[in-house]
Each structure stands twice: as C-alpha cells, then as structure tokens.
Structure 1
Amino acid sequence: MGDEPNPTLGDQVVAFIEERCVYGPGSLKGQPARLNSDQKFVLYRAYEVWPLGHPRAGKRVFNRCGMSVRKGSAKTELMAWVAFCELHSEAPVRFNGFESDGTLRQGRPVADPYIPLMANTKDQVEELAYGALMVICQEGPDADLFDVGLDRIIRLGYDGEADGKAVPIAGAPNARDGARTTFQGIDEPHRLYLPNHKAAIETMIANLPKRPLEDPWMLSCTTAGQPGQNSVAEDEYFEAEAISRNEVERPAFFFFHRQASDGYDMDQFDDRVLAITEASGPDVAEWSDIEGIASQWDRPKADKTYLERVWCNRWTQMAAQAFNVRKWDALTLVGEVIPPRSRVTIGFDGARMRDATALVVVDIDTGFAQLEGLWERPEDADDDWEVDESEVTQKVAELMKRFRVERMYCDPPHWNNTVGEWSVIYPDKVEEWWTNRTRPMVNAIGAFIEAIDTGRISHNGDPDLSRHIGNAGKKLTNLLDERGERLWILGKLHPTRKFDACMAAILAWQARMDVVSKPPEKKRGGRAARIR
C-alpha cells in the first residue's frame, strides 16, 4: 500500500457527470456538464476506497469531504451534480468489488437513496444546490427517471414507484429520515453559525454510520466566511489545518481549499489581479473577468474586507495581518541551524494556560532566527491544562549551555516567579521586557518589520514559527505616526489563532538590536606597554 494512490471510483463518476448531467440555472442552463480540474480532483479523492488487502478494503476512505473555493467557481453546480449521481439509479457511485488485479469493477448505484441538501434557510436551499438539482433532473437526458417537486425529488424505480429521494432542508432531518441518509450536502456552510445550525450538522454527521451497506458520506461546498463567527465552514477549515499538521491520528475528512497566498498589496490593482487569479485556479481564471472583479475595490465605500474574503477565498484579510508572510517565507534558509557556542539572544513569551508559550533564539552575528520551544494548548484540552514549567525551565537551561547567550528578554506576565528565578540563576542575561508598554512595543515591531523588509533576519522555515508570524494581527492604538496614522501593536486575528512564537521572535530580535548597538566594554587591567 505504501505511497500508492488508493483506488477510486472518481473516474467513473466524472465520466457519468459529463455524459448524463447538464448545467443548472444560469447562462449555461441545460447545456452538457463540464468539470474543471479542481472539481475532478475533488471527485477522485471523494470516491477513494481502501485497496485490496486493507482491513477496510472497498470501504470509503473519507466519509466527509469539503471544497472551499472563491465565489463564482461553480461549487453549487458541483454539489448538485454529485447529488444527481448519488440519486441516480445507474450511477457508479458505490464499491462493487475488485478485479483480480486489484482494480475496481464498475461501481453500482445507491439502493434506496435518501439525500438531504442543507443550507441556511429553505429559500437558500431551493436557490442553491437543490434548485440546480431540480433543473438537472428536469432538463437532462434522464428526466423520465425522476418526479421533481419543490419539496422533494423522487427517483422512480422500474415499476414507476418511488425508489429514493432528495429533499431540501434548513434544519436537521427528522428522526425517521435521519436514519436513512446515504449522502448529504451542506451548501455554503460559512452561513451556518447559529447554535441550531451547528446542532443540525452534528446530528447529520451522527446519522452517517446508520446505513453501512451504502457507505454514506457528506460533502460541503463553501467560500471563506467571516473570521471568528464560529461557522461550520470555519470549523472545517480549522479541522483541515489540524490534519495538515498531523494532529489527527486517523483522518476521515478530505478538504480542498484554494486561496490567494499571503503578501499581495490589495491596494494595488495589479496585485489584486494576481491574487484573484491565484485564488481562481487555471480553469476558473480562464473564463473569469479577473480585471472586472479587481476593479470592484475601487468603488467608493466598497467593503474591501468582504471582497477579499469572497474573491480571494481568504479567512485572514491581508490588510489585517501584522507581517508580510510572503516576505517572511522568502527569507527561509532550508536546513540551516545555529551552530553550538554561537553568540545568541533569546525571546520568551507566553501564557501558562490560555494559548501558547514559546522560546526563539537569534544568532547575533547572522540574524538567523530559530524556534527552540513551543508549548501550545490543544483545542480539546481540559480547563485545567497548563504548560509544564519544568519542561520550559529545562529547555532554558539547555539553551544556556548550548549557546553563548548574551541576553534573554522575557515578557513576565503569567511567569513572574519563574522569570525571577531564571534571572537569579543567569544574572546579567535574563531581563524582563514588558510587551504591554505601547511605545516600546511599537518600536520593537517596527524594527522587526524593517529586518524582514531588508532581509537582515532569516530562518529555517519552521512551520510553527511561520504559522505564528501569519497569525499576528494589528491592534490599533491611540498613538499617531508622523503622517497622522494610528500606530498598532500585535493582536489576535482570531480568538483561536496563537502568535506567541511571533512575539518571542520580536523579543529575541530586539535583544539582538540592543546587544549590537551597545558599545563594547573597555577591558580593565592588563599589562602596560610602552608605545614608541
């Protein structure tokens, strides 16, 4: 099994869609369906099954899948096409055995399908995936196989009787229907954030294992939502991030997300064009009016935060980020480490219980920054979770032994006694540096930005340090710069986004700046020599 790709029914499903589906409402209504490369990729992954010889051979690899793409990428169309296949009496959407060489046989249709399609309100369901599915069933080549209504689409059996159905819902399926789910679609889950919405989704997920012979699954299609709203889409995005960090032991969730990367200046038209193009992907960009979209930023009173979210598919707006992550990434020196016995400074920041605690080391001679310790509160931690003080203290001792530490700046809140003990053990090295002092913090951030802009700082690309750099946002102060603009310090972009390692890096850099700017001390004593 190793690195070999899993067998998939995706190729069969793709072929079926392009042979039997049409476009829903819109300019292409009724025309034959054509999938773009992103949609094909999602379908290939969504219909993967475990290979021959696996304990779960033939079972679905993912029982939940998500697709997150920018506005206007035909994601609702994809949802409707998948629902059509899951409802169709001839679609090859379920495992039907292996050939002798381990390849898949032609897939089979679902027996007695029940397909709830959920959105924020009933009207939105009918306007989105369910409405598209109605058109696909009515105007496609297989219209005689369905009985289409506003409140249900029935699959007709060979005897003309009902043999399964799809329904629009704006809440959880009722208890009777919930046990019958074979596929369920969640349309625009960034709009689902109320407690009853989230309870409905949990109920729907809990229903998935109830018909194991039909291997039920769920698909959600969305655009990035409002950060901090605690929507279903935001939950899925964070879950996918945790999977990418290998924090989930046996993931059963596949998530496809395409966005504009960090570092574009959205005040510049050319940068907006590049960002939207990147977020679109090659196929969608080819038929999109990218420049027309980019020009929307220039409208008076345009909601630029909204525009960046929906057209760049970004949960984090670039204007709100403290640092240019693209510039930071460009300073990566892969594989580099600070040699032992190097002259260094250290930054320490964190909270014992709420967020994270971090140690960052900077080489004084080269400006190379290195994350040396990170203790993060797990998302599912108990209320009494706390960073192990002994681990942090042991790490500090190890750094003091490995390097020639010139100075260590520590933000003392939550660690007052510990920092005090370190200052006794390592006199003339450990110093308190309070980050709640606005003017010194503004200056320290400015020095860090200048180091990034000029390339004076570098790093090894540690993903945790880079993540914390990207998580740091701007918190405006009442102080003004020479141009009359409000100065800012660091703040959270999102309640769950930690940036303590970023703060530790700033403190380590500030310590380095203070060391290199200090004139060398004159040596005392020594032998006198006559100079001729």
Structure 2
Amino acid sequence: MTTFIVPSFDEEPWPSLGGPICDLIEERAVFGPGSLKGEPARLDDEKRAAIWKAYEVYPRGHELAGRRRFRRVRISWRKGTAKTEFGGWVAFVELHSEGPVRFDGWDADGNPVGRPVRDPYIPLLATTQEQVMELAYGVLYTVCTEGPDADLFDSSLERIIRLGERGADGKAVPLAGSPNARDGARTTFQYYDETHRLNSPTALSAYEAMEANLPKRPLDDPWSLGTTTAGEPGKGSVAEKDKDEAELISKGEVDEPELFYFHREAGTHDPTTGKEYDLSVMADRIEAIREASGPSVAAWSDLRGIAKQWDRPRADPRYLERTWLNRWTQAEAQAFDARRWKDELAKVGATIPRRVRRKVTLGFDGSRWKDTTGLVVTDIETGLQQKFGLWVPDYADESPDGTPEVRVHEVNEGVDEAFKVFDVVRMYLDPAQGWDEQGATWAGKYGPKKVLFFYTDSRNLRRTAEMCRSYAGAIKAGEVTNDGDEDLASHIANAQKREIKMVDDEGQPLWVMSKERHDSLNKIDLAMAGGLSWQARLDAIASGVSTASSYFYTASTTRRR
C-alpha cells in the first residue's frame, strides 16, 4: 500500500484531543447531501487516525505543552472517499458549543482535556459561488439543520451562527472569493475542499490571505485543514504547493514543520503479488483502485464500477488515473509533460551567457491588451530555454476604450536588450493581438531574415500544429531544458491540447496549444513563445546555422557574467 506521510508516524504517539472529537462527530453529526443524507456520521479507521493526528498537542514538560502540533493539516485521498463530509464534520466540532477542540489541561492519567473555541469564526473556501452548497458548507448546513443539535444553530445559506446565552456566539461562512481583512482577522479554523482546484490567481490570493490570518488569534490556536485528490502536475495549485512542502519536510529541509501531510495512492505494482499493474486489464485496475482506496473505503466502494470507466469511448485514462488512483499524473488534455519540464528538465541556476555573442533564437507571443506578452530565448548549442521577458497589462496604461495595455516601450527595451546581448540568429513572433506594427519595426531594425512573422491562428494552423508537436517531442526526449523559471513552468503546465481538423502524413490527428478556455486566467503566452523559439532553433539549424558557439568561454567566464 503506497502512502506518503509527513512527518512519519512516531513510535510513541503524541497526546491528542482526537478521541473525544471523533466521539462527538459520531454522536451529533450526520451525513450531508447524497445517498446517506441525514444518517448518523460514521468515521472509518483512516479518518479517525487523521483526526487524531490533526489534534495532536505538545506533551507535558514541553515549552509548548498543550499547544497544537500542526497549524496546517492536508489530506490527499482519491475521488469518492467522503472527503467533503470529513471537512464538514471537522468544521462542525470546531463550531459546536461542546466541541473539545482546544487544550484545557491534563486529566489524572496525563491525557489532554479539550474545551470549545470561544467565539469561533470558520470560513470554508469554495472555488465558485455555485459550489458553496456542493462542498463542505453544504455538509455543515445539513448537520446544523437536520442533526440532533439543530436547535444550537441559526442556519442559512449565507452563514451558520452558533447560539449562546447572549445570542450569536460564533459563526461559519462560505467564501467564494478573497476574504476581506475584517473577516479574516477573526479566523479560528478554516477549511479548503479540493485544493487541486485552487490554482487561479484569484484562488491563490484568497488562500494566501486566509493563511496569513491564522496567527491573529494566538489564544485560540487557529489552524487550517485542506483535503484534495491528486492534481495535475505543474499547475501551481495549492495542493501541489502542499505536496512540494511535504517533500521538503521529508528530506529534513524544514525546521519545526507545522504541516501534517497524508497522501494515499495506488503504487505501480500489486503489493501482494509484486506484479506491475497493467491498467488495460480490468483485474489490475480493480486492484489498483483497491490500493488507492485503503481497506476501509475499499470495503464499501464499487471497485468494478469505477474500473469500467476506463472502457468508455474517448475516456481520458490519465484523468481517471489521477482521480481514482490518486496519482499525480497529467491529464491527456495537457499539451506538454509539465512534471518532466519542472522536475527533470529544470537546471536551476543555469543561464545563457550574455554579452559574449552567444547564438540564440527568440520566440515572442502575447497581446497588447488584457493578456500577457512573453519573450523566450533558446540557446542554439545546448537547447537551454529562459524567460527573457513577461509583460502584464497595466491599468495605468489604458487604451482609449479603458482596456489595460502592456507597456510597449518596456517590450521594446526587452527585445532590444536580447539583440544586444546575444547573437540572435532568428526570431519568430506572432504579430496578432496588436504586435504587427511593432514586429514590422523590429524586422526593419534587425533584418527581415532574422525577425519573421509566425501566425499561430487559423492563417497558419498546420505549421503551428507541427511546431507544437515538435516542442512536445523535444520535452519528451529531453532535448530542451530550462532554468527553472516558475512563470515559464506555469505557462507550460497551463497549455492544453486543442485538436484541429487536420492529420499528419501518417493520418494522426494534429493539435495546437491553447488555454483551457478563452477567458481562463491561466496564461500560456510563455509556452507559445517557448515553442516558437524552439521552432526557430530547429529551422535555423536546418538552414545551415552551426550549433557551435561563436566564441570560446570557460565556466569561470560564465560565472563572472
């Protein structure tokens, strides 16, 4: 059974408030919307263990005795494991007037004793307004309106208030955007459902704001809980950031970690037989799903029904692998292998030497309005790529109709700098979206054989598809590397495949990179610029340009520059 647990379980368990909390959940909570709605809550062994870990406190004699061990708890389970119920139930005991969720001394046997939170404030983050009642808030609402303690709460779709002797005595609220400073300052517990979905700039901003508010009520030992299914690698989601931090903790690179992380997935081999799973075989899929489920969840899951989803026409096997086997694999819709780009092809600290006339190619893509504009440079000799510029529209520089606009003079300076410090052999640029006139100016300045238009829309669809395929192939083969730039990695991860009504010479369908949707906030301009720069390199080499440097330099020369 494959699990990743950070910190790993201790030989001697830490003191915890978890036991009484589990008891309260099963005595007073109910299931939320779904087939079991309104029935008494039931915690399986794994969920009990997760609650025990979440409520561990420092032992007697420690300088922090009684304080929470973990300020942040993150759980990664496969799809369909009642993660949302779990989050809603924890929010319920945190809100409850009898919830023993904060340390209140030691009993005669040396065990910690809990008390309720005074005036709790509990935000539950949803990615959109439409998801509010579908996620943990919907569970909490059901518990507080249909459970045995409904008279202790005043519940609505906008907030759930805990009632006390003097009226309102704490509340929980759903959030579908950034919390304001006033609300966030009162946080005692907060919950995030499906953190792999929290990858847009707005969602990430909301998350960071909420996490920053945790230390503001130190007397109430505030904390946060997040649950998720494995996400798509390279997306930069909250779930991926949590996973990366857990890996650093496991390597001993974080002092006094405040994160507890639990992840369960299907391994590559059957733990009983040692045989590698073949996901084209039904029996192997069933066993892989069983492993990803864990014993408790597997006991009541329809493993065969889940496994049959692989046999549906046009099924996305990587999506199914990610959601049902809880593996961090990319969906088939992703244009490029973002994990390989980030984990295997990134040479952090590497750089293309400047001011020594290094032979390079450039790729340029973007929009003067609303969208970003990017410039990527590729070293002809090594295939190393670097972001040379990323420009974001600024509301201070608006077009006549009030649309935010990229500062053209800054882009000009960036392109001029690239031609100044490198021997630019070829530059491919997409002139659409406002860059046609400027592109013509660059061609006149640096030569029409060096600066070439490369439309990536319907005017040049087949060539664009061939460029995208070449770039994907270079990433797969490891021919292209990068310097670890996070913006470039993010744009690579955001690029999606969009099939076009064309096939190659062998009858295989062609595709071009695109956003996940037209209005998506997840940008891909650097990915397109990277592809253009790579294609410029290939075409330059094919035209006879040597891959050898036009100068001789040593490692020390590179460091000095």
Tell me if the contact between 1:351 and 1:414 (Cα under 8 Å) persists in the aligned partners.
no
| Cα distance, 1:315 vs structure 2 | 0.6
Shift in alpha-carbon separation, 1:134–1:289, aligned structure 2, 3 A: same
| Cα distance, 1:170 vs structure 2 | 1.3
- Of 126, 134, 149, the residue aligned with 2:133 is 126
Shift in alpha-carbon separation, 1:350–1:15, aligned structure 2, 3 A: closer
- Per the alignment, in what secondary structure is the counterpart of residue 65 of structure 1? strand
Tell me if the contact between 2:123 and 2:189 (Cα under 8 Å) persists in the aligned partners.
yes
RMSD: 3.2
- Of 233, 241, 254, the residue aligned with 1:235 is 241
TM-score, structure 2 length as denominator?
0.58
Tell me if the contact between 2:349 and 2:483 (Cα under 8 Å) persists in the aligned partners.
no
- Cα distance in 1 for partners of 2:104, 2:476 equals 60
Matches within 5 A, 1:334-483: 351=347, 353-354=349-350
| Cα distance, 1:101 vs structure 2 | 4.6
- Cα distance in 1 for partners of 2:119, 2:145 equals 20
Aligned to 1:248: 254
Matches within 5 A, 1:450-529: 489-490=477-478
Deviations 1:470-502 (A, max 9, x none): xxxxxx988xxxxxx9996348999979xxxxx
- Per the alignment, in what secondary structure is the counterpart of residue 265 of structure 2? coil
- Cα distance in 2 for partners of 1:352, 1:227 equals 18
- Cα distance in 1 for partners of 2:480, 2:120 equals 45
In the alignment, structure 1 residue 211 sits paired with structure 2 residue 217: yes
Matches within 5 A, 1:82-121: 82-105=90-113, 107-121=114-128
In the alignment, structure 1 residue 38 sits paired with structure 2 residue 46: yes
Q: Aligned partner of 1:138: which letter?
A: T
Q: For this pair of structures, how many residues does the alignment match?
A: 348
Matches within 5 A, 1:11-410: 11-105=19-113, 107-159=114-166, 161-263=167-269, 264-316=277-329, 351=347, 353-354=349-350
- Per the alignment, in what secondary structure is the counterpart of residue 58 of structure 2? coil
- Per the alignment, in what secondary structure is the counterpart of residue 242 of structure 1? helix
Aligned to 2:358: none
Shift in alpha-carbon separation, 1:216–1:495, aligned structure 2, 3 A: farther
- Cα distance in 2 for partners of 1:8, 1:494 equals 46
- Cα distance in 1 for partners of 2:44, 2:57 equals 22
Shift in alpha-carbon separation, 1:274–1:102, aligned structure 2, 3 A: same
- Cα distance in 1 for partners of 2:144, 2:123 equals 16
Q: Aligned partner of 2:118: which letter?
A: A
Q: Aligned partner of 2:349: which letter?
A: M
Shift in alpha-carbon separation, 1:129–1:215, aligned structure 2, 3 A: same
Tell me if the contact between 2:350 and 2:483 (Cα under 8 Å) persists in the aligned partners.
no
Shift in alpha-carbon separation, 1:351–1:56, aligned structure 2, 3 A: same
- Cα distance in 2 for partners of 1:311, 1:496 equals 30
- Cα distance in 1 for partners of 2:329, 2:78 equals 14
| Cα distance, 1:237 vs structure 2 | 1.2
- Per the alignment, in what secondary structure is the counterpart of residue 73 of structure 1? coil
| Cα distance, 1:262 vs structure 2 | 2.5
Shift in alpha-carbon separation, 1:60–1:290, aligned structure 2, 3 A: same
- Give 5+ residue unaligned stretches, structure 2: 1-9, 270-276, 338-344, 352-380, 385-467, 486-561
Q: Aligned partner of 2:323: which letter?
A: V
Tell me if the contact between 1:258 and 1:313 (Cα under 8 Å) persists in the aligned partners.
yes
- Cα distance in 2 for partners of 1:31, 1:218 equals 27
Tell me if the contact between 1:22 and 1:140 (Cα under 8 Å) persists in the aligned partners.
yes
Deviations 1:224-257 (A, max 9, x none): 1122111111111111111112121111000111
Q: Aligned partner of 1:489: which letter?
A: A
Q: Aligned partner of 1:308: which letter?
A: E
Q: Aligned partner of 1:144: which letter?
A: D
Tell me if the contact between 1:115 and 1:183 (Cα under 8 Å) persists in the aligned partners.
yes
Tell me if the contact between 1:86 and 1:113 (Cα under 8 Å) persists in the aligned partners.
yes
Tell me if the contact between 2:44 and 2:296 (Cα under 8 Å) persists in the aligned partners.
yes
| Cα distance, 1:102 vs structure 2 | 2.8
Q: Aligned partner of 1:262: which letter?
A: T
- Cα distance in 2 for partners of 1:270, 1:351 equals 41
- Cα distance in 2 for partners of 1:173, 1:135 equals 24
Aligned to 2:406: none
| Cα distance, 1:261 vs structure 2 | 1.1
- Per the alignment, in what secondary structure is the counterpart of residue 102 of structure 2? coil
> Of the two, which has the highest radius of gyration?
1
| Cα distance, 1:37 vs structure 2 | 1.5
**Fraction of identical pairs, as percent:** 56
Shift in alpha-carbon separation, 1:351–1:135, aligned structure 2, 3 A: closer
Tell me if the contact between 2:231 and 2:329 (Cα under 8 Å) persists in the aligned partners.
no
| Cα distance, 1:352 vs structure 2 | 7.0
- Per the alignment, in what secondary structure is the counterpart of residue 62 of structure 2? coil
- Give 5+ residue unaligned stretches, structure 1: 323-348, 356-411, 416-475, 479-484, 498-532
Q: Aligned partner of 2:295: which letter?
A: P
Tell me if the contact between 1:227 and 1:494 (Cα under 8 Å) persists in the aligned partners.
no
- Cα distance in 1 for partners of 2:262, 2:110 equals 27
**Which 10-residue stretch deviates more, 46-55 or 95-104?**
95-104
Q: Aligned partner of 1:53: which letter?
A: G
TM-score, structure 1 length as denominator?
0.61
Tell me if the contact between 2:318 and 2:329 (Cα under 8 Å) persists in the aligned partners.
no
Shift in alpha-carbon separation, 1:23–1:67, aligned structure 2, 3 A: same
